């Protein structure tokens, strides 16, 4: 009762964006769509979303409003969308680690595969293994050899446990049977700073955002994710024996399961038009982001594979 009174007060203040959907979606969308981001302001999801939502109204004929709902490592916003009506007016903009990995680490109040369907994978960011330019590790194999010689002696800085830097690092450890000492930092910036200051021996990073440091001769990339080389003289994860969907952060828009097919189709078409939009491509290019659209069914197959791989990883790391 208290809660409902407070809610009225807040609504009177004009602060809330109503998300209660109606059953009528004859001409979806007939009102603004809310895009929930389960992270804080200023992160890469926030910046990507600002670009998406400033262009996509052209193709949806409705506004798309970003709502940041940080908390519980992404679970708060995710749960909110899981509980929202499946009418296409409340969507979640998340990434694969919160989407598919977190369920195995914590008790999450939703089931990713039964509660959500993917609408569009907007882009992905491939990672690299990064060392200082003056590091004794000239190649990826040097690093592995050092870790094998003295397990746990190599400090690897990452952006937080079970996050976008931690998981690929752990997957490399799993694939190559080595042990790094994983040290968490509050974000990718501080993790990189720890590498440069000498607190860490190796870190993970997005090569696209490291071009400045690479050119200045501060850091060296030892391997990059995927099967195609990003740099001519740097091997891929696949070449060094780390195979599979490893080292990619997929930014993906999902909707509550049960969203009607015509709504999904409308959104799918809008995203197909969006990625062709020149303003959109220019703005994303300026943020150094790629655009690699995948539709829902294609990404759903990847999600299912991710789930299997992440479960195996978590089981091994937590010794279950």
Partner 1 sequence: MLEQFITGFGMAFRVDTFALMAAGLFGGMLVGALPGFTTLLAMAILLPISFFLEPIVGIPFLLGVYKGGIFGGSIPAILVSMPGTGAAVATSRDGYSLTKQGKSRKALDMALCSSVFGDTMSDMFTMVMIFPIAFLVMQFGPPELFAVLLLSLVIIAATSGKNPLKALVMMLFGLWLSFIGTDPLGGVERFTFGIFDLKSGIPLLPMLIGVFAIPEIANVVMKSDKVQKLAAVMGERLTFAEFRRCFRTICRSTVIGTGIGIIPGLGQVVAAMMGYSAAKNASDHPETFGEGELEGIAAAEAANNAVNGPTMVPLLTLGIPGDNVTAILLGAFVAQGLRPGPQLFEEQGATVFAILVAMVFANLLFLIIGYLSIPFFSRIVQIKTSVLVPVVIMFAFAGAYVFRSDNFDLIMLVAFGVFGLVARAGKFDVMPMVMGFILGPPMEYAFGQTMAMGNGEVMQFLFQERLGAIGVLLSIPVIGFMLWRRLNALPAEN
Give the shortest CB-220-to-partner 1 separation in angstroms.
Answer: 14
Asked if 311 is part of the footprint of partner 1 (rule: CB under 8 A), the reply reads no
Q: Is 309 exposed, middle or buried (0-12, 13-18, 19+ CB in 10 A)?
A: middle
Nearest-angstrom CA–CA distance, 294 and 134: 39
Site mask, partner 1, residues 199-218, x = CB under 8 A?
x---------x-xxx-xx-x
Asked if 245 is part of the footprint of partner 1 (rule: CB under 8 A), the reply reads no
Q: Are residues 70 and 40 in contact, defined by beta-carbon separation less than 8 angstroms?
A: yes
Of the residues 113, 230, 287, 291, which one makes contact with partner 1 according to CB under 8 A: 287
Give the shortest CB-236-to-partner 1 separation in angstroms.
Answer: 25
Asked if 308 is part of the footprint of partner 1 (rule: CB under 8 A), the reply reads no
Q: Determine the interface stretch with partner 1 among 9-17, 245-253, 259-267, 302-310 (rule: CB under 8 A).
A: 9-17
Asked if 40 is part of the footprint of partner 1 (rule: CB under 8 A), the reply reads yes
User: What does R_g of the chain's alpha carbons equal in angstroms?
Assistant: 21
Asked if 298 is part of the footprint of partner 1 (rule: CB under 8 A), the reply reads no
Nearest-angstrom CA–CA distance, 125 and 179: 25
Asked if 20 is part of the footprint of partner 1 (rule: CB under 8 A), the reply reads no
Q: Could you tell me the sign of the dihedral formed by the alpha carbons of 309, 313, 316, 320, in that order?
A: negative
As beta bridge partners, residue 118 has 254
Give the shortest CB-277-to-partner 1 separation in angstroms.
Answer: 14
Footprint on residues 74-133 left by partner 1 (CB under 8 A): 75-76, 79, 105-106, 109
Q: Determine the interface stretch with partner 1 among 70-78, 116-124, 166-174, 266-274 (rule: CB under 8 A).
A: 70-78
Of the residues 155, 239, 277, 292, which one makes contact with partner 1 according to CB under 8 A: 155
Where along the sequence are the contacts to partner 1 (CB under 8 A)?
Answer: 2-3, 6-7, 9-10, 12-13, 15-17, 40-43, 46-47, 50-51, 54, 67-73, 75-76, 79, 105-106, 109, 152, 155, 161-162, 181-187, 189-190, 192-194, 196-199, 209, 211-213, 215-216, 218, 283, 286-288
């Amino acid at each position: 009762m208290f809660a409902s009174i407070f809610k009225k007060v807040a609504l009177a203040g004009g602060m809330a964006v109503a998300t209660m959907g109606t059953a009528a979606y004859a001409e979806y969308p007939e009102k603004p769509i809310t895009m929930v981001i389960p992270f804080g302001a200023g992160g890469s999801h926030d910046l990507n979303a600002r670009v998406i939502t400033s262009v996509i109204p052209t193709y949806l004929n409705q506004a798309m409003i970003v709502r940041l709902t940080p908390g519980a490592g992404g679970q708060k916003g995710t749960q909110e969308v899981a509980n929202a009506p499946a009418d296409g007016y409340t969507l979640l903009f998340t990434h694969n680690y919160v989407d598919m990995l977190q369920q195995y680490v914590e008790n999450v109040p939703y089931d990713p595969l039964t509660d959500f369907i993917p609408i569009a994978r907007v882009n992905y960011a491939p990672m690299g293994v990064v060392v200082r330019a003056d590091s004794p590790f000239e190649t990826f194999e040097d690093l592995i050899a050092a870790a094998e010689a003295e397990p746990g002696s190599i400090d690897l800085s990452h952006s937080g446990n079970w996050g976008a830097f931690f998981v690929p690092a752990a997957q490399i450890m799993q694939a190559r049977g080595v042990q790094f000492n994983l040290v968490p930092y509050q974000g990718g910036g501080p993790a990189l700073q720890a590498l440069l200051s000498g607190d860490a021996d190796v870190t993970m990073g997005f090569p696209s955002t490291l071009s400045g440091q690479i050119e200045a001769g501060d850091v060296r990339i030892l391997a990059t994710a995927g099967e195609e080389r990003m740099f001519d003289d740097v091997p891929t994860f696949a070449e060094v024996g780390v195979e599979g969907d490893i080292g990619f952060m997929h930014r993906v828009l999902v909707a509550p399961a049960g969203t009607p097919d015509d709504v999904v189709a409308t959104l799918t078409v809008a995203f197909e038009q969006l990625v062709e939009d020149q303003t959109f491509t220019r703005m994303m290019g300026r943020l150094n982001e790629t655009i690699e659209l995948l539709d829902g069914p294609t990404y759903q197959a990847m999600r299912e594979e991710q789930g299997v791989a992440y479960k195996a990883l978590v089981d091994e790391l937590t010794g279950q």
